[in-house]
Amino acid sequence: MASKKLDRHDRVDNKRDELLRDYESERSAYELFHMLHEPKTPERYIVTSNLAKLEVTGVIAAEFKCRQLFKGHVPFRYWFRSQDKIRLTREDLREIQVSIYSFLHMMAHAIVTMDEYDADLAGRLITEFGCDTRDAILVATAVTNDCPLFITEDERLQRKLKQFKALKVRKPQFAVNSLKTRSQE
């Protein structure tokens, strides 16, 4: 019985540590968006696709659900099981939509949306580099539209694309540091 309890506590501790690592890694992405929001120089912009915008939508919705669990005093150890069971009201959905719209509106001056991609390249990324379909479409969109960098926190994708020479793959912190250096020049 004690080892079963210990296992459950270890799983909760591991999930907590994972969430903290995720939060720390996403902090630089938030910092990047904040820097892009301040239009001090017109050359600051980010090229993205509607697929990437949908991924942001999923993050905003998950964040909303976590706030609901917190407000409902659900113990942290149950969050992972409970998150998918939350029933969102029309008001909740409206609040999520407003958050998404506000974010996209706030970033409108700094976001250029391009959805054209080379399907053959996406197929090659799947077969030769082991990318999943969504990642392959995102990377192919970046290459097709001549983006100099592909910014992602996904370490698995970064490892897969190390040998892919058509695009530099970097973490958001790299872009933050680059923008800070440029603004000091």
Q: Rounded mean pLDDT of 114-123?
A: 93
> Who wins on pLDDT, 155 or 61?
155
* pTM (two decimals): 0.68
Q: Cβ-count burial of 22 within 10 angstroms (0-12 exposed, 13-18 middle, 19+ buried)?
A: exposed
pLDDT tens-digit map of 130-139: 999 999 999 9
pLDDT tens-digit map of 11-29: 666 766 666 666 565 666 6
Strand-pair category, 111-113 with 46-48 = parallel
Do 84 and 133 sit in the same domain of this protein? no
Per the domain annotation, does 23 fall within a domain?
Answer: no
Domain count along the chain: 2
Per the domain annotation, does 185 fall within a domain?
Answer: no
Structural domain boundaries, residue 76: 10-18+45-112
Q: For residue 37, give every residue at least 6 positions away whose Cβ sits within 8 Å of its Cβ, in sequence order, or none.
A: 106, 107, 110
